[in-house]
Amino acid sequence: MKIIRSILGITQSKLAKELGVQQVTVSRNEIEETKPSDSFLEKTYGYAYDKGILLNRFKSVYWEDKILPGHKLLYHGAKSFIDGKLAVDRSRGFYTGESYSQAISFISGFEKSSVYLLDFDPTGLNYKEFDLSRDWMMTIAFFRGTLKGEFANSVEGYDYLIAPIADNRMYQIINSFINGEITDQQCIHCLAATNLGKQYVFKTEKAISQLKIVEKLYVSDSERNYYKAVRSNESLEGESLAKQARIQYRGKGLYIDEILKH
């Protein structure tokens, strides 16, 4: 709240009037004398976002500076909230990413969604890092339940995986590969045309025990709606890129059923 008032150059009284609350409410929340209600959080974060003040970006920068040497700041988008300690879904893993915008984009369609900032200590853990390749695409297919059996061995023995993020555009393209509509080469060339961040997939209890929540970020309706629109545009872009890949690289590479036969 001090950040909001400082940027806008307004008093507590003025901010209270803008939010439609009593000044004492602003004062008590600013000095952390009371726990803010969901209604007050929505008013405050929505007001700030509409004024161009990106509070969650401020918090990201703050924690980037506070994180210990050798540690990594990661983001997790939750459809609602995390109840209790972090846990690994044994069939899919626990997903995090390096990007706040990526995390919020995935969960923007859920009304009570939130983004968590996490401190990751990789000390003593085994990991595998993928580049933009067929191996990476097949791994995604495995984690999404499309591939079974022996392929599981390629990711066994690792505490966590690092791989290019498959955002909404990427899923559109990768789904085309998994569904046998485009070849591996068509898919790779299409994905290479976009800028991908990294995602971290935690597979073991040991790995998840070294991942600590440092803050839950409140996402206002205004911010959620913005990223909903972004996600919708990315979906359309993904469809367009997949169509282009089918045309430009037709006849090059292997389809997924051909790969699985070898």
Q: What is the pLDDT of residues 195-249, one digit of tens each?
A: 567 889 999 999 999 999 999 999 999 999 998 888 777 667 766 766 776 788 8
What are the extents of the domains in the chain? Answer: 1-53, 69-261
Quick check: 238 and 183 in contact, CB under 8 A?
A: no
Q: Would you state the structure tokens that stand for residue 237, as one six-digit string?
A: 């872009």
pLDDT per position as a tens digit, 85-111: 888 876 678 999 998 988 888 888 888
Q: What is the structure's pLDDT at 68?
A: 95
> What secondary structure, in 3-state letters, does 147-207 show?
CCHHHHHHHCCCCEEEEECCCHHHHHHHHHHHCCCCCHHHHHHHHCCCCCCEEEEECCHHH
Indicate the average pLDDT of the chain: 86
Q: What is the structure's pLDDT at 229?
A: 87
Q: 1-53 sits in which CATH class?
A: mainly alpha
pLDDT per position as a tens digit, 96-151: 999 898 888 888 888 889 999 999 999 999 999 988 888 888 777 776 666 665 55
Q: Is the pLDDT of residue 73 over 90?
A: yes
Q: What is the structure's pLDDT at 181?
A: 84
Q: Report residue 12's pLDDT band, with 50, 70 and 90 as the boundaries.
A: very high
Q: What is the structure's pLDDT at 186?
A: 86
Q: Is the pLDDT of residue 7 over 90?
A: yes
Q: What is the structure's pLDDT at 150?
A: 54
Residue 262 burial by Cβ neighbours in a 10 Å radius (0-12, 13-18, 19+): exposed
| Cβ-proximal residues to 163 (8 Å cutoff; 6+ apart), any chain | 129, 130, 136, 139, 140, 198, 199, 201
Q: What is the structure's pLDDT at 153?
A: 60
Q: Report residue 84's pLDDT band, with 50, 70 and 90 as the boundaries.
A: confident
